[in-house]
Amino acid sequence: MNKILDYLRLTPVFSYFVRVFKKDKDGKYPTSTNLRMMHGINKISIIMFSICVLILIYRFFIRGY
């Protein structure tokens, strides 16, 4: 049962979101041009996904589906 719960942990996922939107001042993570571009694209996609989810929730409650 503990092995299944380890697979369902969402802590690493949320820590990634925090890390993407925060500057690395300590030099803890490696950096390169490709990695910075990847994180920039991830920021854009996370923001777009969040906006779309909010629009879907809004439509769900307004239209009453």
pLDDT in the model for residue 65: 60
- Residue 27, sorted as left (phi over 0), alpha (psi -120 to 50) or beta, turns out to be left
51 inside domain: yes
Task: Give the C-alpha distances (Å, rounded to integers) separating 8 from 36, 50, 60.
Answer: 28, 22, 28
pTM for the model stands at 0.61
1 inside domain: no
pLDDT in the model for residue 16: 74
CA pair distance 5, 7, nearest whole angstrom: 5
Measured at the CA of 27, the angle between CA 21 and CA 29, to 5 degrees, comes to 65
37 inside domain: yes
User: How many domains would you assign to the chain?
Assistant: 1
Q: Which amino acid is at 6?
A: D
6 inside domain: no
pLDDT tens by residue, 2-57: 777 776 677 777 777 777 777 777 777 777 888 888 888 988 998 999 999 999 99
Domain that holds residue 47: 32-65
8 inside domain: no
59 inside domain: yes
